[in-house]
Amino acid sequence: MNGNSALEGVLGVWKPAGWTSHDVVAKARRLIGVRRIGHTGTLDPAVTGVLPICIGRATRLVEYLQETPKAYEATLRFGIATDTEDAGGQVVERMEVHHLTEEEIARAIGSFVGDIEQIPPMVSAVKVGGKRLYELARQGVTVERKPRTVTIHSIDVLQMNAAGPHPEVRFSVRCSKGTYIRTLCVDIGRKLGVPAVMADLKRVESAGLTEADCLTLEQIGELKRQGKLADKLVPADRLLGFIPHAAAPAAESARALQGRAIPKKALNPEPKRPGLWRLYREDGVFLGLFEADIGRGELRPVKVFHPSDGDGRTDR
């Protein structure tokens, strides 16, 4: 592929500490030389890790990529509480914790697997009364927040040091969109009856991309200069594996690209359940996302993707 117009897909960026997600997108925009670009989920400035960047038409699928589970590695420190729930905040409580055993800590951490309720921290981007919580927090204002249900798919203890006045545990967690790991750390401490804080956080998976899939900003700049950056872009539809797919023959593919409903009986396989489907032409070209109406026996267009200047092929 040649030229910026051909750059389309998802690029895994390894976000450095001290950068906002907006900073990374702005830098990537300058390095790559494209205007249509955006990320799939904010990371706090102090947090490092996987930040998927959507380029070109892939930006139309950001809302769906955001729904995929995310994975983190975090360090929890007991005996300290801060106003931001992480180690960078103002200490509001300090306690020497000598009584906790490794077994108690592991049992408490494991108890959070499943659907749990979290109260969003005041430093989050959640809006209350039209204002983001972090904006209110900067003004010294604390407001009541409603708990939200999130899902913890798995938690694994990676390392533990229960000795000393402030025991620490490093763990990996796979969770749903909207989970606050800092709040999870605080709630684990609360379960054990002690203050706790998130001491460190790294995101290791997002939108199906892992650390191994990511490039640094420096690498992105170098690959762009070499004309090899397009090889690192992942077609956005390939990361939507949680959405079922079907193939349409030529006549129905043409109807789909015109934004018209198509009969489900013409597809392979024939959709048997309602909801979103990824639709492809029989030769593998991605046509877009379609909504299956089983009662009416048809799929209606939600996001139509006309074939690009290239062949538009993608592996399903």
Residues tagged active-site: 44
Chain Cα centroid distance, residue 110: 23
Tokens describing residue 228: 């090899």
Which residue type sits at 197? V
Which residues lie closer than 8 Å to 51 by C-beta, 6 or more apart? 12, 13, 14, 15, 21, 24, 39, 40, 41, 43, 203, 206, 214
286 HSE (CA, 13 A, CB side): 25
Whether residue 253 contacts residue 282, with contact meaning beta carbons closer than 8 Å, is answered with yes
Token pair listed for 65: 């990529």
Amino acid type, 278? R
The identity of residue 256, as a single letter, is A
H or E, element range at 250: helix 250-257
